[in-house]
Amino acid sequence: MRIMKWLSSIGLDKIVIFTIIFNLTACGTTTASELPKATAQGTPADGKKGYHDLVVGFAQIGAESEWRTANTISIKEEAEKLGVELRFSDAQQKQENQIKAIRSFIAQQVDVIGVSPVVETGWKSVFQEAKEADIPVILVDRRAFVPEELYTTYVGSDFLEEGRNAARVMVGLLGGRGKIVELVGTVGSAPATDRYTGFREILEDYPKIKVIASASGDFTQAKGKEVMEDFLRIYGDDIDALYAHNDDMALGAIRAIEEYGLKPGEDIKIVSVDAAHGAFEAMIAGKLNATVECNPLLGPQFFDLALKVVNGEPVPKRIKSEETIFFPHNAAEILPTRKY
Ligand code: AHR
């Protein structure tokens, strides 16, 4: 009462009473945006975790291609948007670094581990360690050769079908006859193995089309150029077409072909995989004949799966991305709509 008398004497009593009443009223009508963020995502109400409760470790391969950069951005941006705490590691294309990152995520007791395995083999022990620590592993983009119980789900492209699609396009470009050189991705990686196999499955029906040379460019522009220079040195004008397992290697090869004095896209037909911006620019310039889509924008699906898994909800064991093929005739029109 003494305080009220004093507030009244200095003319502040009404303001203080109004403030107290306003605060009490507001307590009863809190809006979603005023709640702590995890609550706004539905956490405590149903006893399930929300995105803001999630701590996710992601063991990325590296930054070998435009595709990979887009994949990393998709994961980081989605984590930020959803409020997930993301612990991200870039392995610089080395499996031992990815394994170290996974072990460190286990030690940190993250809720979920995402990994894009650089090669298929050599994951059994570390995935087993994650399982023993009760941390689900989600494969993103590339598969690993491990027993099914060691990972929860696998989201990514159908690399075999990408290889088949590349061959279907190539058959049309060559009119059923010709000599192809092939730039293979990282040796031992799921996309390199499947794109190699899928391509040959279709070519079996076309005996007049031959793959005369095949070597790895490790999914990078620099190595793609280097290997194409070797192909040109050995086979020169005999080469009718190039099949590159990704756009970056095709772009490197395009430079090698130009330096050699031939016209990419005309003298040597080129089909690659990914459908990244660089490929669209090359198609617009008439230097690339087709690119088979491989979607890197897996962030939204990955975190959706991570949350479901943590909350004990069922998820499919395999989720395939839907993809298409792009050609030069409408590349200029389509390019502005592309997100990577
Ligand atoms: O695993 C997907 C492949 O990895 C992409 O085709 C390639 O560009 C990337 O490096």
Q: What percent of the chain has pLDDT over 70?
A: 87
pLDDT at 265: 98
The CATH number of 51-156+297-321 is 3.40.50.2300
Asked if the model's pLDDT at residue 11 lies above 70, the reply is no
pLDDT at 14: 43
Asked if the model's pLDDT at residue 37 lies above 90, the reply is no
Listed by start position, the domains of the chain span 51-156+297-321, 159-294
pTM above 0.95, yes or no: no
Write out the chain in H/E/C secondary structure: CHHHHHHHHCCCHHHHHHHHHHHHHHHHCCCHHHCCHHHHCCHHHHCCCCHHHCEEEEEECCCCCHHHHHHHHHHHHHHHHHCCEEEEEECCCCHHHHHHHHHHHHHCCCCEEEECCCCCCCCHHHHHHHHHCCCCEEEECCCCCCCHHHCCEEEECCHHHHHHHHHHHHHHHHCCCEEEEEEECCCCCHHHHHHHHHHHHHHCCCCCEEEEEEEECCCCHHHHHHHHHHHHHHHHHHCCEEEECCHHHHHHHHHHHHHHCCCECCCEEEEEEECCHHHHHHHHCCCCCEEEECCCCCHHHHHHHHHHHHCCCCCCCEEECCCCEECHHHHHHHHHHCCC
Classify 159-294 by CATH class. Answer: alpha beta
pLDDT tens for 291-304 read 999 999 999 999 99
- Name the band, by pLDDT with cuts 50, 70 and 90, for residue 46: confident
Q: What is the mean pLDDT of residues 160-166?
A: 98
Top mutation candidate among 199, 216, 274 for ligand 1, by most atoms within 8 Å of CB? 274
Q: What is the mean pLDDT of residues 160-186?
A: 98
- Name the band, by pLDDT with cuts 50, 70 and 90, for residue 33: very low
Q: Is 155 in the pocket of ligand 1 (CB under 6 A)?
A: no
- Residue 218 CA to ligand 1 centre (angstroms): 10
Q: What percent of the chain has pLDDT over 90?
A: 86
pLDDT at 45: 65
Q: Is 326 in the pocket of ligand 1 (CB under 6 A)?
A: no
